[in-house]
Amino acid sequence: MQNAIAPPIRRLTPADAQAFRDVRLEGLQRHPASFGASYDDEHTRPLEWFGARIADHAVFGGFSRDGMLAGVAGLLVPPGAKLRHKGILWGMYVRENARGTGLAAALVESVLAHARGIVDEIKLEVAPDNLAAIQLYRAAGFVEYAREPRALKIDGVYHDSVLMTLCFARVA
């Protein structure tokens, strides 16, 4: 770890749309197998679309000392009555210059703290070769419950996903 003090975290607002767009597109472009969305699908979206994502979901951002957005993570709570007990941690990405600072763990904890009391459980998907992310999620209390073969197809190549969950409530 480069720095024991994690950068400041706050919930983003639609006013952060440009910074969120920049970080999101960087992650989609540099690590396509780490996201269900694609750079090709999102880079042409208008800025208002990114603002709406922030408004409709709980998206948290971590900031570097110079005030730049250095990482993001979101929580989606499905609207359906039968599904809204399970939130989805999505869009987790930390820029390279902020890795090893504790930012990733702080972002995950911010999403979890927000989710407690709103949902009973959080699930996520992660690329099986992203060992740093899997270790991060395990340290936060997530457990693997399945592996989805051929979850993504990128340029004709299939990629699996590891499915993980964290239960806040006791399961009956």
What CATH number should be reported for the domain holding residue 38?
A: 3.40.630.30
pLDDT band at 171 (very low <50, low <70, confident <90, very high): low
pLDDT band at 65 (very low <50, low <70, confident <90, very high): confident
- What tokens does 4 get? 């024991």
The predicted structure's pLDDT at residue 139: 98
Per-residue pLDDT for 1 more than 60? no
Q: Are 151 and 161 in contact (CB under 8 A)?
A: yes
Percent of the chain with pLDDT over 90: 90
| Number of folded domains that form the chain | 1
Per-residue pLDDT for 5 more than 90? no
Tell whether 145 is covered by a domain.
Answer: no
The predicted structure's pLDDT at residue 14: 96
Mean pLDDT of 74-98: 96
Q: The whole model's pTM is what?
A: 0.92
Tell whether 172 is covered by a domain.
Answer: no
The predicted structure's pLDDT at residue 3: 46
DSSP state of 171: P
Tell whether 33 is covered by a domain.
Answer: yes
Sign of CA dihedral 107, 113, 117, 121: positive
In angstroms, the CA 81 to CA 127 distance is 29
Per-residue pLDDT for 48 more than 50? yes
Tell whether 96 is covered by a domain.
Answer: yes
Tell whether 133 is covered by a domain.
Answer: no
**Contacting residues for 115 by C-beta, under 8 A, at least 6 apart:** 58, 75, 87, 122, 168
The predicted structure's pLDDT at residue 135: 97
In angstroms, the CA 80 to CA 125 distance is 20
In angstroms, the CA 32 to CA 27 distance is 7
Q: Are 98 and 84 in contact (CB under 8 A)?
A: no
Per-residue pLDDT for 70 more than 50? yes
pLDDT tens-digit readout, 22-37: 999 999 999 999 999 9
Tell whether 159 is covered by a domain.
Answer: no
Instruction: List the domain range (segments joined by +) for residue 72.
Output: 9-121
The predicted structure's pLDDT at residue 97: 93
Tell whether 131 is covered by a domain.
Answer: no
Q: Are 94 and 71 in contact (CB under 8 A)?
A: yes
Tell whether 140 is covered by a domain.
Answer: no
